[in-house]
Structure 1
Amino acid sequence: MLDMELIRKDRDAVAAALAKRLDAAEVDRVLEEIQQLDRERRRLISEIDGERQRRKAEARAYAQAKRAGVEPQVTSDDGRKQVAELEAELDEVQARLRTTMSELPNLPAEDVVPGGKEANRVVKTFGAPPAIEKVRDHVELSRMLGLVDHERGVKLGGSGFWMYTGVGARLEWALINWLIERNIEAGYEFLLPPHLLLDSAGFAAGQFPKFYDDVYHLDKQSAPRGQFLLPTAETAILGAYQDEILDTTKLPLKVFAYTPCYRREAAGSHSDERGTVRGHQFNKVEIFQFTLPEQADAALEQMVNHAESLVEGLGLHYQRSLLAAGDSSASMRKTLDIEVWMPSTGKYKEVSSVSWGGDYQARRAAIRYREPGGKQTRFVHTLNGSALATSRLLPAILEQFQQPDGSVLVPEVLRPRLATDRLTPH
């Protein structure tokens, strides 16, 4: 949620920032609607306060007249709205204002450029693409090595699902455990949240109302309060701290969670989205920080460096990209993607998005802090990042470490967990 005070004070700056993401004419229309609703809200509040003061004054005058034995003068209410009627109007205006405000995306940071994927900028590269004479893709390799059963996955869940088998299941679990250990070493507290969340968590994260249809919802009869399967642990972590005032001495608060993620993805038939690259259920380890505003820049750099250290620890070639405004999550001010090289397609695929949300999510979730000795509360800043998404790590490992005989070298850090340095065809 954007700051209403900022819109009042510097509408032009807000409009210019939003125009990086949205049509400028639409931005002006929505901001004008918001300011009209805000003026109406303040007018009604003033009228309600005035009416309450008038009634109090009349009540005092009536009581004084009675005590003095004088016949009280009663003012007619003809043509004057009752407080309850004004309050009902105020509730309606505030609901409309909240809905309109909630549909606006976050303001992109100054160094984030307008545009979509075409405007993303590579800012770092690690290593070089491996030289492979005859490239096999990860789907072929996973079948040769008996790691993933795509056919039975579809039989169980339909298109966009798969099932890890044998050493493939062990490799997936080894990756998850290694990532968990590395995140703990980096000072993050481990959480295992519920996978079913209330709709309030989706609103807090900025996914609802705009992206309401992108997740799997329970029917209203089963979940009268509204529940959905989490699309990312970010939603659960943020929702867990809704309506809290965090201890300033404990900020930045660093937590992480492992969960499966459930999404209504357009499961791909394109060559670069086959296999486990895109689907409706996948595993991910997510890191998250709640910070003071002045801590956010350092936290973003720290989180990006940590996520990259995980990819480097696996020995994978990757690049870092600064996303343009139109390719970033609507809730985020700035996003940096870490993308691994996929030899079979000659393209990079994102395994981590590390993002800074400013106070946008905190406003929606009412997550605040209070300065020591102070009374006023302020909103924290939130940052999140994948550390990492394993459904794309496994394809990158298979493709980057494949050998001419069809075997695949196991990353050194995972060899003790699998008790082998090489996966060989059955």
Structure 2
Amino acid sequence: VNQMAGDPGTRYNTQPNLKRQKPIQPYVCSTLEDFQEERDFLASTIFPRLNDLCSPRGTYFKAVDLRWSAVKAHKSFTTNLCRQYSCLCSQHLKLCLDCVDSCSPFFICLLGQTYGDFLPHYTPFLFSNIKDFTNLSKGEQNLYVAAKNGYPWVLETPNCSLTEFEITQAAFRKESQFQFFYFRTSNSLLRTFSEEGEEEKLSPAFLMNEEGKVKVGRLKAKIIGKGLPVRFYRDLDELGDLVFKDWSAVVEKLYPVPIIMENIDYKHSLEYLYHEEFAEKCEQVFVISKESNRTFEILERFALKDVELDSDSAGLGLNSILRINALPAYKSILLLSGERGCGKSTLIASWVKYFKSKHPGVLMIPYFVGSTCESSDIMSVIHYFIMELQHRAHGNGARLRGETQ
């Protein structure tokens, strides 16, 4: 953070006129146990290609895949982690439906022969009569939390699996032209009833599995009956071709390819927009508290302790400012630490907005590692800061690619 001459509101006079586009972030829905291979393949091979297609259009493609929901409790978990895990499990349905909403209108669904866990022969009851939440099963706890937090309709069909709840929220309670369903066709022969032992056929697990097959069949018929776009695939390559074809058409429809200017700042402009989009999303979920206000004050004092420029330095360039005000001999670094997912980025993004509004004359260059595909690369980080400083120092004098030094 430093104070520099010039109008901080003037930015990128030499850059192409790009505007921030809404990213394409489809929610990936499937039963978890039997689609790991497909999810890995799409994440490693197809989604990066779609992101490359989005990049020159001023947006990005980033699928939301909540595979953390398959994490199991481990013996090595501390008491605190066990408590957090239990709390997360009881909110699983609500959190997934929240993500489906935030990703709307984009949705990808993979369906096979399995239906997922559900509550068999479950009769709804009045949650208002519940006195001890912990006495409920995990499935009942999920229904309770979801119903109390914006999704009361889940009680209308409480025997659904998580997968069907997600599909219902995305495709049957909303309308969208950017939802695609991929049905896996199996080449393996299913065992006949005659091959099953009598004891196995009568077991609760077997009967529940058979009921699940009926339910997934009905769900597929419901999807097809509504006229939603359905594709059938036999292997990973066929799935990849279908997904890339469908979603590249979505990219082209929403963001036709622009005329790309051969400007050294073009890539940097896109990177800047990505960080702005990331910060905006963080700000949307930030909740102000006494603790956050105290943290804001600490961060502000730290950021301003080296900004002690004389009024005579106003209007001077960066080199002149640095000659007048020598860099501090100590390391000016503040570390804000915490467990993953506790809200560090959200806090910082909100503070940056607060600080910029309060101190518009102070140069601040926010950078969020993890917000883009290249943001964790050290050379990309250095390049980003250099370009920001170059634009602030030279404005219209920033050189284009190919010019001699």
Q: TM-score, normalised by structure 1?
A: 0.20
Bigger relative CO (Cα 8 Å, ≥ 6 apart): 2
Q: TM-score, normalised by structure 2?
A: 0.20
Report the structure, 1 or 2, having the larger strand content.
1
Report the structure, 1 or 2, having the larger helix content.
2
